[in-house]
Structure 1
Amino acid sequence: MGDGKRLRVAVVGTGAIAESHRAAYQAHRDDVDIVAAADVDESRAVAFCATTEHAQPYRDLGSLLAEQAPDLVSICTPPGLHVEQTRAVLESGAWVWCEKPPCRSLAEYDEMTAAEGDGGPYVSFVYQQRSGSAAAHFRSLLAAGDLGRPLVAHCQTTWYRDAAYYAVPWRGRWETEGGGPAMGHGIHQMDLLLHLLGEWAEVQAMTARLVHDVETEDVSTALVRFESGALGTVVNSVLSPDEVSRIRIDCENATAELTHLYGYGIKDWRYTPAPHVAEAEVVRWHTPPDDFGSSHAAAFAPVLAAYREGRRPPCSGDDGRRVLEFVAALYKSASTGLGVRRGEIGPDDAFYRSMAGARTGVPA
């Protein structure tokens, strides 16, 4: 793994999100070589490969793995296919870099990670909102005590999706998508919130289907208590014409606020000091040592480093599971009307097997 050779990578599923993976790999072209792509629509695979140096197109993953023997495979297919494809890639000896949502349930997540080898290969998931340098800067300020204790948080993913979006057959169905905007849209901001503030302790939630003719919800709200004692609100929507992604964290010494849509840079963060904080401190808050935005390219860098060093990458194992457990708790709380604690959803729980609980395949 540490031989310095270019990493041979492949992409499965060449729809829109695959372009972000291609861009990430080409940003690391000195270390990465895209050798193949597979799609059930062969013309899409051919078109994708035409944008690379010499990647070969395939109609199925099995043939790609057998003929190309890649070191790492991006899985960019609908979530209902992730378990089967991840297992096939891991069994071939290659690592997996899988798009969100990781899968449709905690049971499926545990099935995927159970297919990992002892010491690798590993499956890591694309939570690229963690990757911006400004997020690392916030974490360093919080760890150093500069911001004081976190007290109140707000996490907002309020986007807009029309009927044409849900005309794609696998969207909006428990069986194929695994959930609504809490799974398919807000999971990135919620993962970033947990990355910034640490473990959650309890969630109470509501979901509703207010507009779209789908099985899943089209809006959700939640209250969350963190292990630190901080309280937060979470809103996920596909009903919001004025689209925004926002995280606001009120600490003892400052309010930190991130406002963006699909990605951010340092310019999208704002720190407002409490009255007792000196201005010199505020200047330092706004000037992190590095300045690069959140992106697939930035998110892939630590995965590449982990591969080279033969260690578990970030956004894998327990680290990758945390936000999925939070989403499962959100759905369980909304269904039962009760608060759900972290660690409560085990293998005997219906919400371990499906985000719909016992309602799989029927309207929410």
Structure 2
Amino acid sequence: MADGKRLRVAVVGAGQIADSHRAAYDAHGDHVDIVAAVDVDEARAVAFCAATEHAKPYGDLATMLAEQEPDLVSICTPPGLHLEQAVLALRGGAWVWCEKPPCRSLAEYDAMVAAEGEAGPYLSFVFQQRSGAAAGHFRRLLGEGEFGRPLVAHCQTTWFRDAAYYAVPWRGRWATEGGGPAMGHGIHQMDLLLHLLAERAGEWAEVQAMTARLVHDVETEDVSTALVRFESGALATVVNSVLSPDEVSRIRIDCEDASVELTHLYGYGAGNWRYTAAPHVAVDRTQRWRTPDDVRSSHAAAFAPVLAAYRAGRRPPCGGDDGRRVLEFVAALYKAAATGRGVRRGEIGPGDAFYSAMAGAAAG
């Protein structure tokens, strides 16, 4: 990219989420050129391409890779297809920017990363809730000790999905979606929580959990709750639901010197963050807590560091170990719920039923 070459991008899966990827690339239009779209539904691929300058529609990923030789491939298909498509793109020499959930299991994640080259191409995942400027500002201040030690946290993704939502054949099934709201919905807020606290509280260390299927006629859960201990000793609660008419996405972190709360639904700006100082904190100190920029969380904001990493030839964020953190957490949540005991970070590896499938032995 140093020579001014525009990044040649192809989009695989031309459904609704692909529009967010197109908007992200359009926001970086001076540096990105969408050259192709792939979908098994020809009409959908054609419609997506019609909204671009000159992208060409395809019905087959391998054919597109051979003809277009893209620099980067967006994967916007259901999670059951991510492993095969990501590996094919990586082996074809393209970087991959893949939608969440990354895949259906830790085993699949490790297989995807194994297909990367030592110096690229690399794989990264769309955890756009990290991308808002206010999250980066808070994480920097937390790391500098501005708020003292994190002590208690809450992570809430309580949304509402009706029966029509689950009428889509791949949803609500272990084999095709990989999990319920912990995988498909709450994974964004959980990733953000783990990302923020890693700066000061360390990695998550242990999780205890419960899951239930209370309303929907599906294989997976429709609600989950978890208790989490971090390496520092900090504790957190996590709730993921698709049963909640009053929808909200919320993270609250209580530190020694302040409570910090983020409340939104699908995206946030600086105004969605609220800081409450502890009684002993001087008022003039809180002036530093204001977010200097108001870049909202979005696919466009999330793509910026991916583009920068491509130019520099280094691994982008939300890939490798960084992208694996939340998936390991989700696997531990499901294992803890299934076994009724606490699960520690690092215990789920090859040979463990929950390494190969989020449902564990029940997946078979």
Encode CA deviations 1:178-212: one digit per residue, 9 max, x unaligned.
Answer: 00000000000000000100110000000000000
- Distance in 1 of aligned mates of 2:22 and 2:302: 13
AA of the residue aligned to 2:53? E
- Distance in 2 of aligned mates of 1:81 and 1:64: 17
TM-score (norm 1): 0.98
Unaligned runs of 5+ residues in structure 1 are none
Which residue of the other structure, out of 253, 257, 260, is the alignment partner of 2:257? Answer: 253
Deviation at 1:281, TM superposition (A): 1.8
Mean Cα deviation higher: 1-10 or 39-48: 1-10
Q: Tell me how many residue pairs correspond in the alignment.
A: 360
What corresponds to 1:272 in structure 2?
276
Is 2:339 the counterpart of 1:318?
Answer: no
Unaligned runs of 5+ residues in structure 2 are none
What corresponds to 1:18 in structure 2?
18
What corresponds to 1:296 in structure 2?
299
Deviation at 1:291, TM superposition (A): 1.8
- Distance in 2 of aligned mates of 1:132 and 1:279: 25
What corresponds to 2:247 in structure 1?
243
Which residue of the other structure, out of 221, 228, 232, is the alignment partner of 2:232? Answer: 228
What corresponds to 1:211 in structure 2?
215
- Distance in 2 of aligned mates of 1:178 and 1:185: 12
AA of the residue aligned to 2:281? V
TM-score (norm 2): 0.98
Deviation at 1:63, TM superposition (A): 1.2
Percent identity of paired positions between Structure 1 and Structure 2:
82
1:17 partner SS: helix
Encode CA deviations 1:211-238: one digit per residue, 9 max, x unaligned.
Answer: 0000000000000001121100000000
- Distance in 2 of aligned mates of 1:31 and 1:114: 29
Q: CA RMSD in A?
A: 0.7
Is 2:335 the counterpart of 1:332?
Answer: yes
- Distance in 2 of aligned mates of 1:3 and 1:352: 43
Is 2:165 the counterpart of 1:162?
Answer: no
- Distance in 1 of aligned mates of 2:179 and 2:224: 11
What corresponds to 2:32 in structure 1?
32
- Distance in 1 of aligned mates of 2:247 and 2:287: 30
- Distance in 2 of aligned mates of 1:2 and 1:66: 25
AA of the residue aligned to 1:119? A
Mean Cα deviation higher: 180-189 or 136-145: 136-145
What corresponds to 1:283 in structure 2?
287
What corresponds to 1:341 in structure 2?
344
Query: Any residues of structure 2 matched to 1:189-208 within 5 Å, and which?
Result: 189-198=189-198, 199-208=203-212
Is 2:134 the counterpart of 1:130?
Answer: no
- Distance in 1 of aligned mates of 2:283 and 2:51: 49
AA of the residue aligned to 1:271? Y
2:232 partner SS: coil
Is 2:17 the counterpart of 1:8?
Answer: no
AA of the residue aligned to 1:254? A
AA of the residue aligned to 1:246? R
- Distance in 2 of aligned mates of 1:140 and 1:108: 32
- Distance in 2 of aligned mates of 1:221 and 1:126: 24
AA of the residue aligned to 1:181? P
Deviation at 1:334, TM superposition (A): 0.1
- Distance in 2 of aligned mates of 1:355 and 1:144: 36
Query: Any residues of structure 2 matched to 1:67-106 within 5 Å, and which?
Result: 67-106=67-106
- Distance in 1 of aligned mates of 2:286 and 2:265: 25
What corresponds to 1:147 in structure 2?
147
Deviation at 1:65, TM superposition (A): 0.6
- Distance in 2 of aligned mates of 1:61 and 1:280: 57
Deviation at 1:268, TM superposition (A): 0.1
- Distance in 2 of aligned mates of 1:11 and 1:162: 29
AA of the residue aligned to 1:346? G
1:121 partner SS: coil
Deviation at 1:4, TM superposition (A): 2.0
Is 2:357 the counterpart of 1:354?
Answer: yes
Give 4+ residue runs of structure 1 displaced > 6 Å after superposition.
none
